[in-house]
Amino acid sequence: DPSDTHALLSIPMERLVEGLATNDPVNPSRGLYFGPVLDGRFLARHPFWPSAPKQSAYIPMILGNTKDETRNLIG
């Protein structure tokens, strides 16, 4: 049941990290990455690499960040 957030507490750690084994063609080094996370189940392919699906062609997208948003992560 996706709405039962307390159920996460009973899931074994190995099950929780299974998504880390999914290979992401955009981030092959598995380094620090800011973008969609492929889990192989709910997001099986990258949403815009190597190409975006045709149904996404006319959906606007806003991207941005603040000046110091990631300063503590990337120096």
Tens-place pLDDT, residues 6-64: 888 898 988 888 767 777 777 788 777 777 777 777 887 888 888 888 877 888 877 77
| Phi, then psi, of 33 in degrees rounded to 5 | -140, 135
CA gap 1, 7 in Å, rounded: 8
pLDDT for the residue numbered 3: 82
Q: Is the peptide bond before 12 cis (omega within 30 degrees of 0)?
A: no
SS3 70: coil
From residue 19, alpha-carbon distances to 13, 24, 47, 67 in Å are: 11, 11, 17, 31
pTM confidence score: 0.38
pLDDT for the residue numbered 75: 62
